[in-house]
Amino acid sequence: MMKNDSAGRFRTDIVIGSVLIVAAIIIPFVFPTRYVIGQLTIFFLWATVVSQWNLVFGVAGIFSLAQMAIFAMGGYVAGMLSLYLGWPLWISMFFGGFASVLFSVLIGFACLRLRGAYVALLTLAIAQTMYLLIITDTACFMRTGVTCRNFTGGTRGLAQFGDFGFRELLPYKYMAFGNYFIGLVVLIFAVAFSIFVIRSPIGLAFRALRDNQTCAEVRGISKFKYQLLIFSSSAFFTGLAGAVYAGHFRVMGANTLYLNLLLFLLSMLIIGGVGRVWGPILGAAALMLVDEVLKEFVNWRLAGLGLILVVFIVLLPKGLAGYIEDIFQRGRKNKATVGQDE
């Protein structure tokens, strides 16, 4: 019974995914404005981050607030490798991903054995530490002509590390398409990974852990090991997204560590629906649209965001994906009660 249901859901995922991919491929040709393509590229990156955050928080139950620190680590390492060692960004971006994995393993060992609220605090503190260390970086690391550069770029940010090279490769009209498709490809792999985790036995093991930790542990499922596994593997995609961000904007700054941005992405996660496969995409899309609207009311952007967050977490905790899934469940003939995402 359960296997059939899992297979059915997987098929649905493939269908939804395919439709979205086709749409994503077509859109830039239909709306070739720089602005739209740029915004969509950013959407892909944020959706990637949120999709991995969804695994970390929604599936593995780790309340990590260090996701942007991991993102930034990927971007900074990629940028630094390109800047200081001259590597092309195409290669250093993967090393950015690896660096993020290493970073997340460290964080994991420090934090994962602790209670939920403690994890949130510590990961937040780690992100804040990274931020502080970057913006107080004033020591001279490298001389370029007359000016002095700090190691991390300090408050001005890390720059001059090159990009993905589309300026030279593509005609002017299609220049932005390059980064767009890189972002898309990263997102596709990230979402595929998350579908794999959620629909696989690992996902099931986590649901067991979440529902009754002590029982599951008695049966030999080590919470720490599994959590570390998800935390670190998801960090690869998060870090990769960071590297693409660096390549897209051609600068990597500590502004990626701003609390407001963290909360913006957290909102995407919550509103989309925690633990749901398509939650991150829905949430990211919804919030970027809301943000477009709120740009008119730029003075109340923060409050608007805060309000949405509070409303959703208090009143609509299942998120958009959750409620949409509920509607489809009611429509289905087979009412499967086992194996559902909670």
Partner 1 sequence: MDSLTQIVASGLTVGAMYAVSTVALSLVWGALNVLNMGQGAMLAVGGYIAYTAVTAFGLPIPIAIVAAAGVGALVGAVLYFLVVKLMIGKDGFETNVIIATFGFALILENLVLRLYGAYPLRQPIGLDGGWHIGAVHVPYQNILLVLVSAVLMTVVAYALKSTRTGRAIRATAQNRGATELMGVRVSKIFLQVLMIGGGLAAISGIMLSTITTLAPTMGYDPMLKAFIICVIAGLGNIYGALIASFVLGLFEVSVQFLFGVRFGFPALLLLVISALIWKPFGVFGRRKTDRL
Interacting span for partner 1 (CB under 8 A) from 20-28, 45-53, 198-206, 300-308? 300-308
- The smaller minimum CB distance to partner 1, of residues 36 and 309, is found at 309
Interacting span for partner 1 (CB under 8 A) from 44-52, 79-87, 143-151, 294-302? 294-302
Give the chain as a 3 state SS string. CHHHHHHHHHHHHHHHHHHHHHHHHHHHHHCCCHHHHHHHHHHHHHHHHHHHHHHHHHHCCCCCCCHHHHHHHHHHHHHHHHHHHCCCHHHHHHHHHHHHHHHHHHHHHHHCCCCHHHHHHHHHHHHHHHHHHHHCCCCCCEEECCEEECCCCHHHCEECCCCCCHHHHCCHHHHHHHHHHHHHHHHHHHHHHHHHHHHCHHHHHHHHHHHCHHHHHHCCCCHHHHHHHHHHHHHHHHHHHHHHHHHHHCEECHHHHCHHHHHHHHHHHHHHCCCCCCHHHHHHHHHHHHHHHHHHHHHHHHHHHHHHHHHHHHHCCCHHHHHHHHHHHHHCCCCCCCCCCC
Q: Does 151 contact partner 1 by CB under 8 A? A: no
CA distance 342 to 339: 9
| Residues 50-89 interacting with partner 1 (rule: CB under 8 A) | 63
CB 37 within 8 A of CB 176: yes
Q: Does 114 contact partner 1 by CB under 8 A? A: yes
Q: CB of residue 76 vs partner 1: minimum separation in angstroms?
A: 16
Q: CB of residue 108 vs partner 1: minimum separation in angstroms?
A: 12
Q: Does 308 contact partner 1 by CB under 8 A? A: yes
- The smaller minimum CB distance to partner 1, of residues 6 and 255, is found at 255
Q: Does 309 contact partner 1 by CB under 8 A? A: yes
Q: Does 136 contact partner 1 by CB under 8 A? A: yes
- Residue 40 has a CB neighbour count (10 Å cut-off) of 19
Quick one: which of 121, 251, 288, 290 contacts partner 1 (CB under 8 A)? Answer: 121
Q: CB of residue 115 vs partner 1: minimum separation in angstroms?
A: 8
Quick one: which of 19, 200, 303, 328 contacts partner 1 (CB under 8 A)? Answer: 303
Q: Does 38 contact partner 1 by CB under 8 A? A: no
Interacting span for partner 1 (CB under 8 A) from 26-34, 244-252, 305-313, 329-337? 305-313
CA distances from 336 to 68, 207, 323 (A): 37, 16, 17
Quick one: which of 124, 202, 229, 316 contacts partner 1 (CB under 8 A)? Answer: 124
Q: Does 175 contact partner 1 by CB under 8 A? A: no
- The smaller minimum CB distance to partner 1, of residues 176 and 321, is found at 321
- The smaller minimum CB distance to partner 1, of residues 46 and 131, is found at 131
| Residues 217-276 interacting with partner 1 (rule: CB under 8 A) | 259-260, 263, 266-267, 270
* Residue 314 backbone zone (phi > 0: left; psi -120 to 50: alpha; other: beta): alpha
- Provide the CA 100 distance to its chain's centre, in angstroms: 12
Q: Does 293 contact partner 1 by CB under 8 A? A: no
Quick one: which of 120, 187, 197, 230 contacts partner 1 (CB under 8 A)? Answer: 120
Q: CB of residue 264 vs partner 1: minimum separation in angstroms?
A: 10
- The smaller minimum CB distance to partner 1, of residues 299 and 337, is found at 299
Residues that bind partner 1 in the complex, under the rule CB under 8 A? 63, 110-111, 113-118, 120-122, 124-126, 128-129, 132-133, 136, 212-215, 259-260, 263, 266-267, 270, 299-303, 305-310, 313-315, 317
